Amino acid sequence: MQQTPAHGRALGHVVLNVTSLARSVPFYVEALGLRVVGRTETADRNRIGDIVFLSFGANHHDLGLREVSSIGRAARDAHDSPGAGLSHVAFRVGDKIDDLEHVVRNLMQAGAHSVRAVDHGATRSVYFNDPDGLVLEAYVGDDTLPDGPLTIVAMPLEIDFDTGTVLHR
C-alpha cells in the first residue's frame, strides 16, 4: 500500500547552538524583540542540553538557543548537532498523534535513519536526519504560548518500527 506524503503545515521553530547563552539571549531579546518564555528543566539538561526558549508572542516558542558547552554525550549520541550553528529545524505536521505516526511510516518507507520520538509535554516529536545528515523534527501538539511559565521536558517515547506507532508511556 502506497503512503500519501505527509504535508507540513508551518515552520515550527529553529534551535541554534550558541557558544554563550549569557551573550546570545540578550542579543535576540534586544535586537529582535523576542521574549524568554522558558528553559529546559534541570533534569533534562543532561539529555538535551541547556536551552532557552524565546517567542515573538503568539507561538509556544519560535527560537531555541542551546549552549554548546552544555551538550552532553546523550545529545551527541542522539545525532544532534554538537557544534555552534544549526541544531535542528522543526515542522508542525498536525494536531494529533495519528498525524505524527503517518510521518513515521513515511520516514520508514523512505529509509530514514536515526528516527527517535520525544514527548515535550505540549508537543510530541519525531527527530530524524535528512540525506545530508541535518537534524529535522516533525511534531504535533499545541504551539500556543501559555499564560504561565513555559515548561519544556524531553521524555523519550518508543516507536514500533513494524507499524509506525508511537507508543505512549
Cα 31 from chain centroid? 24
> How confident is the model at residue 2, as a pLDDT?
61
Residue 50: CB partners within 8 Å, gap ≥ 6?
Answer: 21, 39, 40, 66, 67, 70
Decide if 3 is inside a domain: no
Decide if 2 is inside a domain: no
Decide if 162 is inside a domain: yes
Decide if 1 is inside a domain: no
DSSP assignment of 9-56 equals: -EEEEEEEEES-HHHHHHHHHHHH--EEEEEE-GGGHHHH--EEEEES
Decide if 67 is inside a domain: yes
Task: Count CA within 13 A, CB hemisphere, residue 121.
Answer: 13
Decide if 79 is inside a domain: yes
Decide if 4 is inside a domain: no
Task: Assign residue 162 the CATH number of its domain.
Answer: 3.10.180.10
Distance separating alpha carbons of residues 131 and 28, to the nearest angstrom = 31
- Domain span at 101: 10-167
Inter-residue contact 97 to 124 (CB < 8 Å): yes
Distance separating alpha carbons of residues 156 and 98, to the nearest angstrom = 18
> How confident is the model at residue 48, as a pLDDT?
83
| pLDDT over 70 percentage in the chain | 87
Decide if 135 is inside a domain: yes
Per DSSP, helices labelled H in the chain are 21-32, 45-48, 73-77, 97-109
Whose CA is closest to 17, among 71, 67, 72, 89?
Answer: 67
Give me the mean pLDDT over the 7-30 stretch: 85
| Banded model confidence at residue 115, pLDDT cuts 50, 70, 90 | confident
Q: How does DSSP classify residue 122?
A: S
| Banded model confidence at residue 140, pLDDT cuts 50, 70, 90 | very high
Domain tally, the chain: 1
> How confident is the model at residue 81, as a pLDDT?
62
